[in-house]
Amino acid sequence: MRRTLYALIAIFLVVPLVAFFVAYLVVDVPKPGDMKTNQVATIYDSDGKTVLSKVIPPQGNRTDVALSDVPAHVRNAVLAAEDRDFYSNPGFSITGFGRALRDNVLGRADAGGGSTITQQYVKNALVGSQHSIIRKLHELVVSTKMTREWSKDDILQAYLNTIYFGRGAYGIGAASKAYFGKPVNQLDVSEGAVLAALIQQPSGLDPETNPTGAKARWNYVLDGMVSMGTLSKSERATIQFPQVLPATPQNGDDQDNGPAGLIKAQVLKELSAAGISEQELNTEGLSITTTIDPTAQAAAEKAVKANMDGEGNDLRTAVVSVDPHTGAVRAYYGGDNGHGYDFAQAGLQTGSTFKVFGLAANLAKGIPLSKMYSSAPLTVHGITVTNVGGESCGTCTIAQALKMSLNTSFYRMELGLGNDGPQQIADMAHKAGIPEDIPGVGKSLTEPNGAGPNDGIVLGQYQVRPIDMASAYATFAAEGVYHQPYFVQKVVNADGTVLLDRGNPSGEQRIDKDVVDNVISAMEPIAAYSNGHNLAGGRPSASKTGTTQLGDTDSNKDAWMIGFTPSLSTAVWVGTEQGIPLVNSYGGEIYGAGLPADIWKSTMDGALKGTDVEYFPKPAAIGGQAGVPDYTGPTTASPKTTVAKPSPTEDSGPPPVVITPSQVQILPGITIPVPGIQQESPSQGGGGGTDNGSQTGAGGGPSPNGGGTGPGAGGGAAPNGVAPNGVGVGR
């Protein structure tokens, strides 16, 4: 037993030592010219052949400088940031290497760390950054040999001339120009500390985009200089954070000026989240295959151009298409300025497109599509709440109410869910794929004070991004299975090493299949009902339009069309940046059934052309009814208006629900009072009752160029400031 133990110890000690010395004899140390700089990273469409964009390090943006030209205080700042015992260590950190070895053995995703300046240079110049024990041992051998064969000053000079500082700047000479517009020999202590701070996370610590993080790291560097004895405490106390130049656009590909530039931005964000560093991106000649389908992308761009041509310059649009089976983003249009604002990532009110989540919540409670609800207009606190154009179904099924987008009916449905009805709808939306937290919005589907959602949620009161809506509707298309949306399919470096491969992501069953199938059944007639936007060739689709109201005016500000087939979900938004009335080139109001529906149909038809026609599953029964019933309701006569305080002798149905105002924000710094249902008030179910002030419906004929005031399914909300956060006016 003891002999076996001694043998094992010998193996674990002797073998690595022998391997180390053999490797030490045969390995070559790198030279500064061996650095893998200025290798273009190419971003491809899903076919892996069509170039979507490129990441091109600026040519000539790497100027070698002699170490003697780098002020001592700048060198000391770099040492304080990255390797405080650089001049005394053997080229590697024993404790750091031990941690890295342990993490690699345990298979930890963040395995690495413990890198001295020598190791960083070796990694970037020769051995790469693949997470493996072999790579780390190779790095150790080369670092040790380099320390013996090179002077420390030679190593530091090579390091300073090759490390990446962000803004496309390789080497401290280029970085000095990029951030301060001056040669490196003119940098003062505070400026040198800024550059040293950047090395850890070049773009993430850029003072222009992350001033808080940049200053925290800057203070760390200066404090390190004090502890090293290269900066006095008195001088440290007087140093102020310096002014940094604004970033200028990096050299790239001409394609970045168009929609591809915004796709590229999402790709780079996703690569960073996946742990692929900027150093790898800019030096390893990466081939990045995205999920963007060239046919679908071309269809989306063509649809936008064809339908928006001739419209006002103030109009903006976003189009996102998602594969329900995987979450892959197949088409993405956030605007035509690749360096501008991305409207596909903007938090926007969704209008009646949110009704489908309310319907799903209702079905999940076992309430069928045949359930009847009144569409009666209401008077609440002296304010009359109606449907647009006086639209009404009398009392009809909730399926018919969805088709006609009758907000009064949907408010009654929401009330029937109980006091927590709004939260049930929010929970359903989150299950479908609306994130709990949305960048630029914060915690989603709730009031700013964290009190949860109010009753306006069923009309799309809260801000959600177009990409979120495309993803959430894709969950319905996938029969309740959620897949997180993504842009990057595979990443391979110039040596053929695969850095990332998504494969076929598995989804999560979040919504009951029977619920989803019944929701789809209610959505299927809407495209045709919305000014005849059914897909070409009789291809089945499920869709919903929505329109939101501009404050307390009679104008619109957002218009949506979102819909899907079993293989593609597409969300389209049309609006403005300025918060001005949404009108087409003929001066007509734009509704969801107009321009957005035109763009949606063109995108879907183009993307799916030549593919098999797919059909939705036949729904199972919920509450004794499978899918949309053959009847719509017992009456189509317009019902009498219900008032807030009916006479005791009047036959006016159940008493109204009292509405109390709460504050919601319509623009930064601007809030308006919005009614909300008091929790102690009785739910009205499908009878009389009230809604939270909404106006929706169909009326009038279509405007030229699809601008639309014709009938359709859409969002809705009441005028006179009653609408929750200015939400919706139908079609």
Alpha helices, H only, 612-680: none
Supply the mean pLDDT for the chain.
81
- Say if 483 falls within a structural domain: no
The DSSP result for 387-437, as a single string, is -GGG---SEEEHHHHHHHT-HHHHHHHHHHT-TTHHHHHHHHHHHHT--SE
Is residue 340 domain-shared with residue 230, that is, in the same domain?
A: no
Tally of domains within the chain = 2
* 70/213 same-domain check: yes
pLDDT in tens, 273-298: 999 988 888 878 899 999 999 999 99
Please enumerate in sequence order all residues whose Cβ is within 8 A of that of 428, keeping only pairs 6 or more positions apart, or say none: 357, 358, 360, 361, 364, 511
Asked if residues 118 and 112 have their Cβ atoms less than 8 Å apart, the reply is no
Q: What is the pLDDT of residue 11?
A: 55
- pLDDT, position 380: 45
* Mean pLDDT along residues 37-41: 68
Query: What confidence score (pLDDT) does residue 119 get?
Result: 85
Residue 482 falls inside a structural domain? no
What pLDDT was estimated at residue 390? 76
pLDDT of residue 388: 72
Residues 469 and 613 in one domain: yes
Same domain, 664 and 520: yes
In a domain, 338, yes or no: yes
Taking the C-alpha atoms of residue 127 and residue 134, their distance in angstroms, rounded to an integer, is 10
pLDDT digits (tens, 9 = 90+) for 341-382: 999 999 999 999 999 999 999 999 999 999 999 998 775 445
- List the CATH number of the domain containing 78: 1.10.3810.10
Between 208 and 377, residue with greater pLDDT: 208
**pLDDT tens, position by position, 297-314:** 999 999 999 999 999 999
Burial class (CB in 10 A: 0-12, 13-18, 19+), 10: exposed
Mean pLDDT of 52-65: 71
User: What percent of the chain shows pLDDT beyond 70?
Assistant: 73
Which pLDDT tens digit goes with each residue over 578-613?
Answer: 889 999 999 999 999 999 999 999 999 999 999 999
Same domain flag for 570 and 716? yes
Beta partners for residue 51, in sequence order: 44
Residues catalogued as catalytic:
82, 352
172 within some domain: yes
Residue 293 lies in a domain: no
Which pLDDT score is estimated for 511? 98
For residues 307 and 222, membership in a common domain is answered with no
Same-domain check for residues 697 and 608? yes
The domain boundary, picked from 211, 238, 265, lies at: 238
Higher pLDDT, 63 or 317: 317
Structural domain includes residue 488: no
Q: Is residue 344 part of a domain?
A: yes
Q: At what angle do helices 355-364 and 421-432 cross, to 10 degrees?
A: 100
Give Cα 684 to chain centroid, integer Å. Answer: 38
Question: Residue 618: pLDDT above 90?
Answer: yes
- Residue 279 domain-assigned (yes or no): no
Q: How far apart are CA 113 and CA 99, in angstroms?
A: 7
- pLDDT tier at 121, thresholds 50, 70, 90: confident
Domain of residue 583, CATH code:
3.40.710.10
Q: What is the extent of the structural domain holding 640?
A: 299-477+514-726
Which residue would you say has higher pLDDT here, 701 or 489?
489
pLDDT of residue 40: 76
Tokens of 582: 């949404």
Q: 642 φ, ψ to 5°?
A: -95, 135
Mean pLDDT of 257-284: 91
